């Protein structure tokens, strides 16, 4: 596994969710694909290492994917459900984190509950996993304490996660279906209506709603809206004009697109695009 530290000129599916200000040079993020044995359960490991000047803050704003997360830092260790709006984490001082982005099926398996209980909520790993969470936290911290930017440290931390996660395999049948549903929506820009998802999977809208509520804590329309916002951020970074972006994403008009984007991100598409018109300095992420 090699780290992916590509900048905004080489966006991947993780980075387009990150509304990173190009003037923010506070951190570098190492991204790793999961080992073959965890495919279907884990999407990606990500390891940010940061150094923020004293007295300053570096807010990180993310349009989260419809998946649960686990994050261990020197100060906390948490399991996160999906934040339906804008997720914000503020970096200060010097630090690191080792995060796991799961596949859609994983959250309910790890939490041993429906994901409706975890929407917009997090808890300590020890609350979710008991003693296993405590041991995992200790192992990740031990791996990262010495050299948080070293690949050997990253591998040790990811190995600790992999050992714990192996017990949740194989994915159950319903989990495989929800993985496929989310993949279909995320990979198909032409999917703009819930009815298209129902047709693809032979489900009634009510059955699809029950599935996504149980396994994601979300409704199907949210999946489509979130993918459109991810695509919008990607196109706006690349200099797309607002009317063209709105049309490409299937919006009936630019005003509707602007309203959707501003409601979730707290900025207009124009304000977001302006950040990338004249980027300041090198972008390490």
pLDDT digits (tens, 9 = 90+) for 243-281: 999 998 988 889 999 999 999 999 999 999 998 876 555
Confidence of residue 5 (pLDDT cuts 50, 70, 90): very low
pLDDT, average across residues 237-246:
89
Residue 283: its pLDDT value, please? 42
- How far is residue 95's CA from residue 79's CA, in Å, rounded to a whole number? 19
pLDDT, average across residues 191-203:
97
Residue 238: its pLDDT value, please? 86
- How far is residue 228's CA from residue 234's CA, in Å, rounded to a whole number? 10
Residue 12 has pLDDT above 70, yes or no: no
Residue 46 has pLDDT above 60, yes or no: yes
Residue 81 has pLDDT above 60, yes or no: yes
DSSP character string of 231-266: HHHHHHHTT--HHHHHHHTT-SSHHHHHHHHHHHHS
Residue 22: its pLDDT value, please? 87
Alpha helices (runs of H) in the chain, residue ranges in sequence order: 106-111, 125-129, 131-144, 151-165, 173-187, 194-201, 205-216, 220-237, 242-248, 254-265, 269-274
Residue 31 has pLDDT above 70, yes or no: yes
**Could you give the domains of the chain?**
8-168 (2.60.40.1180), 173-274 (1.10.10.60)
């Amino acid at each position: 596994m090699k780290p992916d530290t590509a900048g905004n000129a080489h966006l991947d599916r993780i980075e387009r969710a990150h509304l990173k200000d190009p003037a923010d040079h506070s951190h570098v993020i190492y991204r790793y694909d999961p080992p073959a044995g965890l495919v279907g359960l884990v999407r990606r490991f990500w390891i940010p290492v940061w150094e923020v000047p004293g007295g300053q803050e570096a807010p990180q704003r993310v349009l989260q994917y419809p998946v649960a997360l686990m994050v261990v830092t020197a100060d906390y260790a948490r399991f996160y459900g999906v934040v339906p709006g804008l997720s914000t984490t503020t970096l200060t001082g010097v630090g690191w984190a080792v995060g796991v982005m799961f596949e859609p099926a994983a959250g309910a398996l790890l939490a041993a509950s429906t994901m409706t209980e975890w929407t917009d909520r997090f808890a300590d790993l020890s609350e979710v996993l008991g003693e296993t969470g405590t041991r995992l936290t200790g192992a990740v911290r031990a791996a990262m304490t010495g050299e948080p930017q070293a690949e050997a440290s990253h591998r040790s931390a990811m190995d600790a996660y992999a050992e714990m996660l192996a017990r949740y395999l194989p994915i159950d049948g319903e989990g495989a279906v929800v993985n496929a549903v989310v993949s279909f929506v995320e990979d198909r820009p032409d999917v703009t209506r819930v009815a298209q998802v129902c047709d693809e999977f032979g489900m009634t809208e009510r059955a699809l709603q029950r599935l996504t509520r149980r396994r994601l804590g979300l409704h199907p329309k949210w999946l489509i809206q979130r993918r459109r916002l991810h695509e919008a951020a990607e196109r706006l970074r690349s200099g797309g004009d607002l009317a063209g972006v709105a049309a490409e994403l299937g919006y009936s008009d630019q005003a509707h697109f602007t309203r959707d984007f501003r409601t979730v991100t707290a900025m207009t598409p124009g304000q977001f695009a302006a950040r990338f018109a004249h980027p300041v300095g090198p972008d390490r992420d």
